Structure 1
Amino acid sequence: MTGPRGAILIRARVANFPVQPGALLQSQLSATCQSRRKDRTEMSSIPASHSSSSQVTVASQVPFADLCSVLELIQKCKSRPEKTKYFKDFLDSWRKFHDALHKDEKDVTDSFYPALRLILPQLERERMAYGIKETMLAKLYIELLNLPKEGKDALKLLDYRTPAGSRGDAGDFATTAYFVLKPRCIKPGQLTIRQVNDLLDSISINNAAKRKDLVKKSLLQLITQSSALEQKWLIRMIIKDLKLGISQQTLFSIFHPDSAELYSVTTDLEKVCRQLHDPSASLSDVSISLFSAFKPMLAAIANIPQIEKQMNHQSFYIETKLDGERIQMHKDGDVYKYFSRNGYDYTQQFGASPLEGSLTPFIHNVFRKNVQNCILDGEMMAYNPTTQNFMQKGNKFDIKRMVDDSELQTCFCVFDVLMVNSQKLGHEMLSKRYEILNNIFTPITGRIQVILKHQASTQKEVIDALNEAIDNREEGIVVKDPTSVYKPDKRGEGWLKIKPEYVSGLMDELDLLIVGGYWGKGLRGGMMSHFLCAVAEMPSPGEKPSVFHSICRVGSGYTMKELYDLSLKLANHWKPYRKKNPPCNILCGTEKPEVYIEPCNSVIVQVKAAEIISSDMYKTDCTLRFPRIEKIREDKKWSECMTLDLLEQLRGKASGKLATKHLDIGHNAPQGKKRKTMPKVKQFIGVMDTFKAPDLSNVSRLSSIFEDVEFCVMTGTENCPKNELESKIAEFGGSIVQNPGPDTYCVVVGTENIRVKNIISSSKHDVVKAEWLLQCFERQAFMPWQPIFMIQMSSETKQYFACKYDCYGDSYTADTDVAQLKELFSRMNNLKEKISWDVIADTEERYSWNCSPFNIFRQHTVYIGISDEAGSLRDKVNRTSLLTSALMLRFHGARVTSQLEEGVSHVIIGEDRGRVKEIKAVRRTFRRKFKIVSEQWVKDSLKAGKLQNEDVYLI
């Protein structure tokens, strides 16, 4: 079957929304369907194995370029309704083409799956495991395009995360690659959606088999047969991050109302697409089924003071929270399957039958004789039979890859049952499921066990259980409501978890020094998003430390404001880290930073983690598990960071566990830290109302977008006075001060007064218009600053804006709208600077834009020879035509001047030749002679898309 006729509709809808299918669909698809019937007849003699691979499907007819066009439209749209409309139009076109293509067939397996797996690649992690990262792609492109290794484009690809290494898209490899590939790639691509899927599957299969040469071969096929735009989206599919600005749940809801629920109990995207292909069909019985992976129910973080209320003041279960791998076991007779929480199949490791695997042979005979099949939910642990205890996940082992000769053994710790003898139990109460669980198998210590639980009803019992878990070096506890039912892919719903790190004051914290950094991606593009931290060698008495040992890489725990402030603080001190010539005072293991900072220019960060574990990646031979930054220690000098000696003491204190303190029920704080209550002192000194702090005690908190952010509101606006702004800030989690200090995020100003002018003249603080704050309230989000909002900027903020905006306040990266554009132009009119056409021409040449038909007149300065008077109708027509040509010249790159002056390259004359003699006389006085040409030269050049020979049009 040649010619993807059915895809024509999809391409038309993508390019020119909206397109009405109707009769057009029938006429376009009639030839396709006739050819399809012919193909089916011819294929009847082909063996089944070949027939399936040769089946004509929608995906085999739709060009991959069409899908990329839809994704590009979705990404560029700002509003959610527009994004959903484009996706729905594409989906509807697919379904109509599908129905016409298969109208005479039954039991059709063709579905939207080939497209949806590319749109949601993160859901196909097991099937689409490529082992490919941005660096590998960069090297492949450099090799394929034969780019000089030290050339501009090669460095852009390799250094895509650095601000200097990209086109304002720091951290986005796909966009950086697109601009490198754009002038070099074929247009359009040649692949269909099915061909792209086949090649990606080939990469995944060969990657699993470690056949790197075949992986590279398939990659080359994708690259050489795709346009730059297609490769941009291919890269995002391979990296599994499409950046569409629309959630997975939204796409599921558009595809089918039941699709999200079906996926949560199957984790099978292909099954979802096939069973719910018809949008009018309803899924009456969405439930857990045997040998089909489902998303397990999860626990939410508990609020200890509210624990009794969260359990509805009824008794509840307390279980130990084990630190292993969440696994579900499916058993039917002698057949077993094991799935992870994300739906990965680990049956090969644990055993598909009683004759194989690290677990199944040891547990097959423990099940009661009347149990034919069952589904169990639990935690897979590594058990040490010598010490008779469970190993923590932080130790050097992987339960999913344990070898037979390991001294550890696999143990399945079960805490729930979802099916027994084909009876589904998800809708039964937890208490009933526990009764059934205790009658399914006989536990064997170290092989298969039921997680112990005890019944409780008070907050004190929860705290006692948590303190006992801390003493036993366990991960924490889980609190469960006995009346809860099992809800796949839901968090909470009667299940709550408590870890020591969730409770303030229970963890030992480490004061580490930042010694290295890593450029960020996405929202963190253009700044450091992760940091390499170190501890110091113990210095001689009276001296500062001089040598530092790396211990961990940390990239979480801080807010975007804290990261932004930290980036500004350290921005001028980063230096490239050269592996061949590393700094002698910063010692690293195998983990090397991208940039480093001299310790004397750095800051200490307080880091919280679950435990200290062994690792050869860092110089200390250990690292932190789940590290996150609690705060920046502004009160400490760089030389006061943790030392190696102190680290070793902490490491040996509790076998590496950093939770050693108990929770005190009286104050809900660590024991030994009792708060002193200070006597209240009456204040007799009066304060003017203007300077009084507002009474915000009755303000209800609605959001946390301003959490830990301090504001100083000087004045309000006419419609929103100062006290209302302050109340709003409190509602959104912020704090208020009446005088700005070192911790004040910004000063908010509605109208100027003397106090405001004094703040501005001090140049110490960022002074922001109240409109910015109102916009944050309206959108319920922490909106980034723009130049339009700024009244006064600190030196650090000025430096930041210089990297993000030009001198007119126009962003280098963010899209704009009509109102912003008008305001921007008004600022340009106020500035007396002139745009250099040479600079524009150089920029176009630099990025290969000089071949565009929209700049064919770029190198020319043109004067339009229009008569001052236009009396007759003919004169008016001639004048209108010339004015139109002037607009077209400007649109296509020319500089049109109103003065006949030195530097003019061309004078354009219409049908009225009355001024030609005068213009020629002026030309004799010019040092550089211009050409006088007829208006037809402009029209013919525009029609041809390139400059025509002026000699033919000379006057």
Structure 2
Amino acid sequence: MSDIDDTEMRDDEAVEEEHKMYGQDAMTEQELGEKYPNRPRNHSKTLPFHDLFLTLFNPLSENRKKPLGPAIARRKLGPHGQIQNPNDVRRSLIERFIARWRKEVGNDIYPAFRLIVPEKDRDRAMYGLKEVTLGKLLIRIMKIDKNSEDGYNLMHWKLPAVKAAMAGDFAGRCFEAISKRPMRVTPGNMTIAEVNELLDKLSVAQKEENQRPIIEEFYNRMNAEELKWLIRMILRQMKVGATEKTFFEVWHPDAENLFNISSNLRRVCWELYDPKVRLEGEDAGINLMQCFQPQLAAFQMRTMEQMVARMKPTEEDPAFWIEEKLDGERMQLHMMEDESVPGGKRFGFWSRKAKDYTYLYGNGFQDEKAALTRHIKTAFNSGVRNIILDGEMITWDPKVDALVPFGTLKTAALSQQANPFSDGNRPLFRVFDCLYLNDVNLTRYTLRKRREALNASITSIHRRLEIHDYQEAHKASEIEPLLRQVVAESSEGLVLKNPRSEYRLNDRNDDWMKVKPEYMSEFGEALDCVVIGGYYGSGKRGGGISSFLCGLRVDQPDIDQGADPMKCHSFFKVGGGFAAADYAEIRHRLEGKWIEYDPKKPPIDFIELAGGDRQYEKPDVWIKPSDSVVLSVKAASVTPTNQFRPGYTLRFPRFRKLRTDKDWTQALSIQEFKNLKACAEEEKNEKQFKVEDARRKKQIVKRKRETVIQGHESEIKTPYAGPTTKVFEGHNFLIMTESLKPNKKSKAELEQLVKANGGNVVASEKDPKTILIADRNLVKVASMQKKDQRNIIRPSWLLDCVKQGEIDVGRPSLLLPFEPQHFFYATSAEAGHYDHNIDEYGDSYTRDVTAEQLLDLFSKMPTHFDHGERSRKRYNGNNVLNRLIEEDPGLDAIPGRIFHGLSIYCKDVSPETARLIPFAGGHVVDKIEDDQVTQVVICKNSVALKEIRKAVAARARPPRIVTEDWVADSWRERTLLDEERYMPL
């Protein structure tokens, strides 16, 4: 149904619902009408709230759980019987919901989108509710004891619990507690509009006593599943299996672009309700006083040489820029002429998340509450009528003329509002880009041109508003000295920028790349600290302690003066670098020794935290130092902080190993740390360090092999059975039929194939471990299918196993995992269990494909197309993966990223190891002389060890030499393990 302007043609209930829903809005109905004169109007009431999860959230979540390569039997079929992959299913679900909304409700989908992507709704204020507060409210509403099983589980949602949802899933815990005592069993009758109306009230209530009646009304009118999704909306942690990008693409081809330039969900819904009407001209670009989604720096994924090469330098222009990465809050400044504002200029400030900070930094030169604008009257050169600047807001301490660590910015700004000319901490805006000048959008200009516009428009105001410096470089070798400098100064890192690049909204690409000094080779590798606390994980790491609080031991002289000999000071938290075996070993050694941390009765005789009564970084559980273990960690550097007791902490700490040879009395003490820090500062200019990649991208490199035939035809008395391997050793096979097309083989030939490759051929299926092989539905085969007790495998699997094992001649080999195509029949109990062994197009993760098979796979892949001729974006796998990792950091541990960024030379290693490295994202180097080599992998007791050490000894940064167990163990543990554990003897 088309948009209807005549109110009389709309349902009275729809008009009343709209009035209630938007009556809570900060803008009046008149203001909304003036700002959005062509806004759509719904002709009917909004859908029931429960339709959101019944027809959208739950199906999307189920689709998300499916592996990328589902078996044909489990794939959904389209209207014409075609197979749909999960991506198609996801899009189809969203399309159906939007089509239903247009038909049954109207063209104003804003009420639904506010609940579907609540984290993108900037019109509704934050609720001020976190898990703990929500848990307390629900306990009171349900009238249960906080010490009861459900009460305890709600208040300790990160802790593992018997018969409770997975630790770390707060909404799941709420669902279980509410399900036992629901006010409703069936879904309630609340509409989407009614939920929005109550959520608006909740956002302005703020105080707990005002919020409780609203939560209680939800509790009375919703069932447990509705409340579970409502809680996720309040926490803005939906994760339904589709991002806002997908919803935007389905809603309108220009929706994502409009959101990028405006950060306004309402505008996306109200201006782009007709897919046939496209954005044009100024509407498609950034505008004054309209918050946009800024360009972001890509994660470091390559060596420095490769990163520079990705910026595509030319002979005429080989330059790239190096900037210091600032430790503050990304901020955009808008300024325009406005005679209604004292001083004639109006300002606007927005963060990367589109939060409006104008109230803090000022709306004009004469704003008496401004923490910044009243100090920068002379910053803008004459002739600047309007401008948009991109930069970083940081905290500066004028007393020591130094940057203050992140986390103090708002406090400093509020202090400047109250005392504008004090010498206390103040906000400092560092500008690195100019995107709009005197009515001209500069995003299509190169960075070099935009910098020229910035320099011509802005004059730096010392320690208030400054143009951020950069250094022009031409070689990758120029990066390292600057990186060493930022490590010494405890800075955030570097950003490499391509001066030939345009500004791309809401995008991470190779034009801007972060270079972080993740870990150094010397400093921090000898830091052995005692564990004094633990933190339970959430999500995938829920159910156990996932990170540890480590401390510095109080020194003996202090003990003699009356201090407790068992006391430690909190120093840092570490949660990276642990393998499953490491967690298991620590858990075994500390079992029964953990004590729940009670903030009301802190263990001050054993542990001293920072912050006094505030107890900064308090753990979930603590342990007496004398009962604990010592961890060896490495780190990038030491940085000042008020969050840990010594006033310092480690940047990017990472677990190396468990020091079973040390007890807590031999761990690092406070004075020993001070001495170590002093020595490190003295030698900082001589330090050599290496950058270890913290993010590894999935990059599967497939290698084609030539067929190797063992033996000579004259030596084979039976028909050729393939290469002689041991791939089937220890396994029994019942061959029931011949093999059909395309690899025709008789039953006798298949039996010979099995025997030639180490297997046994049997005549009975009685042994349940016997593998059944068939390619035709004979009587015996049909009889076994009817019993539904045994899988029947196609002969093609035998051939695939032999092909894959031919490079491992003479070595025991593992059988190839089954793939959906290998099954002639799968029992109902095991149907779909092997879908994860292929990708969404049927490509195997463990088996090489032929050229013909590869062409067949390509034919199944959808072609990429742009939405509209004006679209300038192209699909970029790196950008998609980076965006996913930003939204869900847990994805950083996917197997295909383990060795990403590493260049590895292999010597005398097994074929399995050689295949695994590129499969896990690493690059195998052919020659050890290659300067890019980061690790050398050899087999144990290799005779070439001495020769290899000699070959790499003279290098400035010699590669680590490790045994091949390092590769296998890192793959098994799904994390890059420390190389020192695997150094050859």
Q: Would you call these one fold, judging by a TM-score over 0.5? A: yes
Aligned residue in 2 for 1:547 = 566
- Which residue is 2:96 aligned to? 89
Distance 1:596 1:440, change over 3 A: same
Partner of 1:63: 48
Could you say what secondary structure the match of 2:376 adopts? helix
SS in 2 for 1:500: coil
Q: How does 1:789-804 map to 2 (within 5 A)?
A: none
2:475 is aligned to: 458
Distance in 1, matches of 2:322 and 2:937, equals: 41
Q: Which moved more, 1:391-400 or 1:254-263?
A: 391-400
Q: 1:526 offset after TM fit, Å?
A: 1.0
- Aligned: 1:346 with 2:357: yes
| Superposed CA RMSD | 4.6
- Displacement after TM superposition at 1:558 (Å): 3.0
Give the secondary-structure state (helix, strand or coil) at the position aligned to 1:529.
Answer: strand
SS in 2 for 1:244: coil
- Give 1:353 shift: 1.3
Query: 2:576 is matched with which residue: 534, 557, 565?
Result: 557
Q: Partners of 1:98 and 1:277 in 2: how far apart?
A: 13
Distance apart, 1:170 and its partner CA = 2.2
Amino acid at match of 1:310: R
Return the letter of the residue paired with 1:547.
M
Asked whether the 8 Å contact 2:412–2:425 carries over to 1, the reply is no
Q: Deviations over 1:802-861 (max 9, x none)?
A: xxxxxxxxxxxxxxxxxxxxxxxxxxxxxxxxxxxxxxxxxxxxxxxxxxxxxxxxxxxx
- Measure the CA separation in 2 of the matches of 1:306 and 1:411: 34
Distance (whole Å) between structure 1 residues aligned to residue 130 and residue 353 of structure 2: 21
Q: Check whether the contact 2:146–2:152 (CA below 8 A) recurs between aligned residues.
A: yes
- Is contact 1:128–1:200 with CA below 8 Å preserved after alignment? no
1:230-241 pair list within 5 angstroms: 230-241=226-237
3-state DSSP of counterpart to 1:604? strand
Residue number in structure 2 paired with 1:254: 250
Name the SS for the 1:611 alignment partner. strand
Please tell me whether the aligned partners of residues 496 and 514 of structure 2 are also in contact (alpha carbons under 8 angstroms): yes
- 2:373 corresponds, among 360, 371, 374, to 360
Alignment of 1:231-630 (within 5 A): 231-285=227-281, 286-302=284-300, 303-313=303-313, 314-333=318-337, 334-356=345-367, 357-393=370-406, 398-404=411-417, 405=419, 406=422, 407-501=424-518, 505=522, 510-539=527-556, 547-552=566-571, 554=573, 556-558=575-577, 561=580, 565=584, 568-569=587-588, 572-579=591-598, 584-589=605-610, 590=615, 591-599=617-625, 600-608=627-635, 610-615=637-642, 618=644, 620-624=645-649, 626-630=651-655
Q: Give the match for residue 932 of structure 1.
A: none
What amino acid is aligned across from residue 329 of structure 1 in structure 2?
A: L
Spell out the pairing of 1:899-918 with structure 2 (5 A cutoff).
none
Counterpart among 43, 59, 74 of residue 60 in structure 2 = 74
- Per the TM alignment, residue 332 of structure 1 is displaced from its structure 2 partner at its CA by 0.4
Provide Cα deviations, 1:101-140, integer angstroms capped at 9, x if missing partner. xxxxxxxxx6322222222223237834112122222221
Cα contact 2:322–2:471 (8 A) shared by 1: yes
Answer whether contact 1:267 1:295 (CA < 8 A) is retained. Answer: yes
> TM-score, normalised on structure 2?
0.60
Give the superposition deviation at 1:339.
0.9
Residues 780-805 of structure 1 deviation map (CA, whole Å, 9 limit, x = unaligned): x969xxxxxxxxxxxxxxxxxxxxxx
Give the AA of the match of 2:149: K
CA distance in 1 between partners of 2:511 and 2:149 (Å): 57
Match of 1:144 in 2: 141
TM-aligned CA deviation for residue 374 of structure 1:
0.7
Farther-moved stretch of structure 1 (47-56 vs 587-596): 47-56
Residues 246 and 166 of structure 1, relative CA distance in 2, 3 Å threshold = farther
SS of 1:224's partner is helix
User: In the TM superposition, what whole-angstrom CA distance separates every residue of 1:195-251 from its partner, at most 9, and x where no partner exists?
Assistant: 2122222222232xxx33222232222222222111111111112212323334333
Residue type of the alignment partner of 2:252: H
2:456 partner SS: coil
The answer to whether the Cα contact below 8 Å between 1:707 and 1:732 also exists between their aligned partners in 2 is no
Shift of 1:350: 0.6
CA–CA distance in structure 2, aligned partners of residues 662 and 394 of structure 1 = 31
Q: CA-to-partner distance for each residue in 1:398-418, whole Å, 9 max, x for gaps? A: 455443324233332211100
- Asked if 1 retains the 8 angstrom alpha-carbon contact of 2:122 and 2:265, the reply is no
Secondary structure class of the residue paired with 1:496:
strand
Contact 1:706-1:782 at 8 Å conserved across structures: no
- CA deviation vs aligned residue, 1:517-565 (integer Å, no higher than 9, x gap): 222221112121232221212358999x952424256354336746754
**Aligned counterparts of 1:659 and 1:230: Cα–Cα separation in 2:** 60
Q: Which residue identity is paired with 1:331?
A: M
Q: After the TM superposition, which residues 629-640 of structure 1 pair with which residues of structure 2 at under 5 Å, given as runs?
A: 629-634=654-659, 636-639=661-664, 640=666
Query: Quick check: which has more Rg, 1 or 2?
Result: 1
1:857-876 equivalences under 5 Å are: none
- CA–CA distance in 2 between the matches of 1:317 and 1:38? 56
2: distance between equivalents of 1:453 and 1:244? Answer: 42
Where does structure 1 differ by over 6 angstroms across 4 or more consecutive aligned residues? Answer: 40-43, 50-56, 394-397, 506-509, 540-543, 691-694, 734-740
C-alpha deviation, 1:308, in angstroms: 4.1
Instruction: Report the counterpart of residue 199 of structure 2 in structure 1.
Output: 200
Aligned to 1:180: 177
User: What's the counterpart of residue 190 of structure 1?
Assistant: 189
In structure 2, the partner of 1:684 is none
Change (3 A) 1:441 1:595: closer
Greater shift in the superposed pair: 522-531 or 243-252: 243-252
- Contact persistence 2:572–2:650 (CA under 8 A): no
Q: Distance in 1 between matches of 2:8 and 2:61?
A: 32
Q: Secondary structure at the match of 1:299?
A: strand
Cα offset, 1:442, TM superposition = 2.4
Contact preservation (8 Å) 2:327, 2:492:
yes
- C-alpha distance in 1 between matches for 2:353 and 2:271: 21
Q: Does the aligned pair in 2 maintain the 1:506–1:661 contact within 8 Å?
A: no
Q: Distance in 1 between matches of 2:236 and 2:16?
A: 36
Q: What is the DSSP-based 3-state SS (H/G/I as helix, E as strand, rest coil) of the residue aligned with 2:377?
A: helix
How far residue 347 of structure 1 moved from its aligned partner, in angstroms, is 0.5
Q: Select which of 199, 210, 217 maps to 2:213.
A: 217
* CA displacement at 1:606 relative to structure 2: 0.7
Q: Which residue of 1 aligns with 2:710?
A: none
Q: 1:416–1:396: structure 2 CA closer, same or farther, 3 Å change rule?
A: closer
1:35 aligns to what?
11
**Superposed displacement of residue 385, structure 1:** 4.0
Identity %: 27
Which position in structure 2 is the counterpart of 1:846? Answer: none
User: In structure 2, how many angstroms separate the alpha carbons of the residues matched to 1:641 and 1:58?
Assistant: 71
User: Which whole-Å CA distance do the structure 2 matches of 1:413 and 1:429 have between them?
Assistant: 20
1:301 Cα deviation after fit: 4.4
Q: 1:342-382: per-residue Cα shift (whole Å, max 9, x none)?
A: 21111011101111111112223432332111101112233
**Do the aligned partners of 1:394 and 1:625 also contact (CA within 8 Å) in 2?**
no
Q: Distance in 2 between matches of 1:223 and 1:339?
A: 36
- 1-side partners of 2:571 and 2:124: how far apart? 32
Question: Secondary structure of 1:358's match?
Answer: coil
Where do 5+ consecutive residues of structure 1 fail to align? 1-24, 100-109, 670-687, 710-721, 741-765, 784-955
Look up the equivalent residue of 2:109 and give its one-letter code.
F
Q: If the length of structure 1 is used for normalisation, what is the TM-score?
A: 0.62
Counterpart code for 2:304 = I
Query: In 2, are the aligned partners of 1:507 and 1:660 still within 8 Å (CA)?
Result: no
Partners of 2:187 and 2:677 in 1: how far apart? 59
Contact 2:530 2:551 in 1 (8 A): yes
